[in-house]
A and B are shown apart, each in its own frame.
Chain A
């Protein structure tokens, strides 16, 4: 047991073990993420030296970069990091409870629900109601659709396979609704809808950052309550029940957390795809399979992916600023195919 550090409070409510190597990985990743954030704050239409950026972050900056850094880049980078972190953890949870490496918020209908909420808002309320309410519509959509999926999957309890199948079915239905809505609306509205569906951090401001923050600081730590049970659940429902895990309660709670995280992420950044799928995989490659630690790693990896995608989106084709979702999908789709390939050939 020397290689492990146990983290456990008195009542045992929070309890997980960390591999020593994990702490090293975590440390490196925090360093890496900070590096990425500073880099992304430096790059843009005009380059601001990283030293200047760090100075600014610690409050010693000169006023000359106020607009570019404080108003334009910082909210966008911070929001992107939180969105990525939320998606990463959400994907990790889903892959854990469904016990399928291909599970992600995109695939089981959460993103679909949020999209329908957002598109209904864009088609029917844009212009009359302020766009500030768009995130709420998206979160409501995600919530309602997930409850719907869960209710449909209920048959003396919910099994992962039913959840996935119904999730995929409902996701398809949601896509159909989105398509109908786009077909019936005029070009200008369609343009807005497509932009939202691709996913973009464009126009992110501090208000969004403050609204997103509570979701992150509440729900990501909350997952740690479940880390020991998720580890047991990885062995299958029957074994987990035998080990004393109340499988249904845990599953429902985790699903709710996952929906809250993915829903809030999608609400502020639109349909940024594949992050929820890739981030947990990269996290596992880096840090093994203990759920408790993976929560942090997935969050950091997810955050870094989105921030990197966004910086590419706003600098690769200067002066054009294109949606970040284009890049996450561009990286994500090949990765997905690789996962399918690996699954099939059992290469470990």
Chain B
């Protein structure tokens, strides 16, 4: 009897695993089908309108597919820090934003421009009910953070998503496209390109042979240190023409160093260090920088070690933050803009 029931149990277990797998398959297909039919409906709708209004419906391609946006949105909710930053840069005041990582609830550098804007929750788990209450007509999200709630966001308002959260120039483009402000976006980006060009000529003139500098982007944590390669700050530094030391050129986010023996790995001409304002983190920083190996690093020998603001250099992730970074870099290299 028991052997029988055990067999029955095993069969059921197998069956339910298979069922689950199939069900997932089916439902994905279902969704696709729904998506298609919805899209078709909209298409026909726009064709009906085509006599007068077709120009006002724009199709935006983004990380989660294509989204149709009608006219110029006025009530936008931004769901990641970089998008909030980009909106402010373009003179837009969102109707809802997510809480900042530090300096909660809004980064100091954005606080004046975002006075009174309601917070709709955490970047990782924005509160859907709060968003719905704001009755937005556009949501700007990130696939990295919001993939699983994309469908729900789309039910609230047309939602466009960027692949990541730190590609600040692409974020500006996406916000520009979605908000029907492509020209303004180009303007913001052109201003950035001008500054970059100015920086490159001036730094070349001042440093001559020594340029381009190898830059090390360091971050200390409570129990380890990190070297960032590609990241928000990494992208900005790359734009500006800084190079990474040979051992740091891999196309990954960076590495974690858990032992002080790895300090020589950090070696570069110039260090920018950012870290959180925390007792344990300062402790790690003290320990690592008082280690004998630290003194052998080129940047330390040349006195080119700079502690920088973590919001501008890492947490902000937008075009305004990038500009703040650039201000900082001009300053510290003793260059006049």
Contact = CB atoms under 8 A, between A and B. Distances in A.
A185 to B, nearest CB: 8
A215 interface: yes
Contacts of B254: 186
Contacts of B24: 132-133, 135-136, 211
B6 A320 contact: no
A319 interface: yes
B250 to A, nearest CB: 13
A265 to B, nearest CB: 13
B6 A211 contact: no
B132 A127 contact: no
A68 B128 CA distance: 9
B13 interface: yes
Nearest to A134: B148
B122 interface: yes
B256 A318 contact: no
B3 interface: yes
Interface residues of B, number: 51
B308 to A, nearest CB: 17
Interface in A131-145: 131-133, 135-136, 139
A75 to B, nearest CB: 10
B129 A68 contact: yes
Interface size grouping (class) on chain A: 35 or more
Interface in B19-54: 19-21, 23-24, 27-28
A130 B256 CA distance: 28
B132 A67 contact: yes
A202 B143 contact: no
A253 B121 contact: no
Contact of B127 (A186, A256, A319): A319
Interface stretch (B86-94, B149-157, B183-191): B149-157
Contacts of B10: 256
Q: Which of A46, A186, A229 is packed against the most chain B CB atoms within 10 Å?
A: A186
Interface of A: 13, 44-46, 67-68, 71-72, 127, 130-133, 135-136, 139, 183-188, 191-192, 195, 200, 202-203, 205, 207, 210-211, 214-215, 218-219, 222, 225, 229, 246, 249-250, 252-253, 256-257, 260, 314, 318-323
Given A246-B2, A322-B125, 20 more contacts: A45-B133, A46-B129, A131-B147, A133-B24, A185-B253, A191-B124, A191-B145, A195-B124, A200-B125, A203-B148, A210-B23, A211-B20, A214-B16, A253-B6, A260-B13, A319-B119, A319-B130, A321-B121, A321-B125, A321-B128
29 contacts: A13-B5, A67-B132, A68-B132, A71-B155, A72-B132, A127-B143, A130-B147, A135-B20, A139-B17, A183-B256, A184-B256, A186-B252, A187-B253, A188-B144, A188-B145, A195-B125, A205-B152, A210-B23, A210-B27, A215-B20, A218-B12, A252-B6, A253-B5, A253-B6, A256-B9, A320-B99, A320-B125, A321-B128, A323-B125
